[in-house]
């Protein structure tokens, strides 16, 4: 049976920890949820970029692309879309290259590229991604993005859901996320309420993004499998 590992922050990865594995990068609030939704609504690709300036340069060099993302949760000046998954409607992103930069999620994607395969994971595509991973059969590592260098409860809850669904042999890190998820779901009376108890969710709710938080908790609603080809720099649907 494959082994399932996890890290609570990409900064916690140690040498060779990604080698030979499928990495699932998770930023429940909101980058990976947004990427899944953009591709589900027909974006041709998402180009994840670590910096705002880098995103401006890449979008400038890609005719027809749009600039997307956030800093401090808000759309930077001159960007077409922010980081709310609900903004990414088919009429706005259909057939378009979305050049996306976010504070933590796009950075985590670039920190996972030593893996054999980099998948974009969210609560909304947990079932489809787990089916894909089980058919593939390779070992897996869940890479939580965190928030500003700190561990995020919501990413650990999302990772715990992947551990639950995959049913693989779990390392202690992956096991802790599974137990944290189960405990929090029981304590708060459901996954959405557990996610809403997190620091980042409270911040987003206070900024008026409560619908994004609720949307990000709709487990398994999407069948999109986003794969990051770091050589080309694009996330596309498998
Ligand atoms: C991030 O990558 O830091 C986030 O997705 C922040 C957010 O917009 O909620």
- Name the residue ranges covered by the structural domains of the chain: 3-237
The pLDDT score that the predictor gives to residue 11 is: 97
The pTM of this model reads: 0.97
Q: Given the CA of residue 84, which atom of ligand 1 is nearest to it? A: 8
Strand order across the beta sheet in which 169-170 lies: 66-69, 97-101, 45-49, 234-237, 226-229, 117-121, 22-26, 140-144, 3-7, 169-170
Q: Given the CA of residue 200, which atom of ligand 1 is nearest to it? A: 9
Q: How far is the CA of 140 from the centre of ligand 1 (A)?
A: 24
Instruction: Give Cα separations from 131 to 19, 126, 134, 220 (angstroms).
Output: 21, 9, 5, 11
Query: Is CATH 2.30.29.30 what the domain over 3-237 is classified as, yes or no?
Result: no
**What are the φ/ψ torsions at residue 98 (nearest 5 degrees)?**
-95, 110
Q: Which of 49, 52, 73, 76 to mutate to test the pocket of ligand 1 (most atoms within 8 A of CB)?
A: 73
User: How is 94-128 classified by DSSP, letter by letter?
Assistant: TT-EEEEE-SSHHHHHHHTTTSSEEEEE-GGGHHH
Instruction: Give Cα separations from 146 to 30, 149, 150, 168 (angstroms).
Output: 11, 6, 6, 23
Contact 135, 22 (CB under 8 A): no
Instruction: Give Cα separations from 176 to 146, 163, 214 (angstroms).
Output: 16, 10, 24
Closest residue by CA, ligand 1 atom 8 = 73
The pLDDT score that the predictor gives to residue 15 is: 85
**What are the φ/ψ torsions at residue 92 (nearest 5 degrees)?**
-90, -35
Summarised one tens digit per residue, pLDDT across range 65-98 is 999 999 999 999 999 999 999 999 999 999 999 9
* Segments in the chain below pLDDT 50: none
């Amino acid at each position: 049976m494959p082994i399932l590992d996890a890290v609570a922050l990409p900064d916690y990865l140690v040498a060779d920890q990604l080698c030979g594995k499928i990495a699932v990068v998770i930023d429940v609030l909101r980058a990976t949820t947004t990427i899944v939704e953009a591709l589900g609504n027909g974006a041709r690709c998402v180009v994840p970029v670590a910096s705002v300036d880098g995103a401006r340069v890449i979008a400038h060099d890609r005719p027809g692309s749009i600039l997307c993302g956030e800093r401090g949760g808000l759309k930077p000046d001159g960007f077409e879309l922010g980081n709310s998954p609900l903004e990414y409607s088919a009429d706005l992103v259909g057939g378009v290259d979305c050049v996306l930069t976010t504070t933590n999620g796009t950075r985590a994607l670039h920190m996972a590229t030593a893996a054999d395969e980099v998948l974009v994971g969210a609560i909304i595509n947990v079932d489809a991604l787990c089916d894909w991973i089980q058919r593939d059969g390779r070992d897996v590592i869940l890479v939580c993005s965190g928030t500003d260098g700190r561990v995020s409860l919501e990413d650990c809850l999302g990772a715990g859901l992947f551990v639950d669904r995959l049913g693989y042999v779990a390392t202690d890190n992956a096991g802790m996320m599974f137990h944290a998820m189960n405990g929090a779901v029981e304590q708060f009376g459901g996954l959405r309420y557990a996610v809403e108890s997190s620091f980042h969710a409270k911040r987003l709710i206070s900024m008026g993004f409560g619908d994004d938080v609720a949307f990000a908790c709709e487990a398994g609603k999407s069948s999109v499998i986003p794969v990051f080809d770091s050589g080309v720099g694009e996330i596309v649907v498998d």
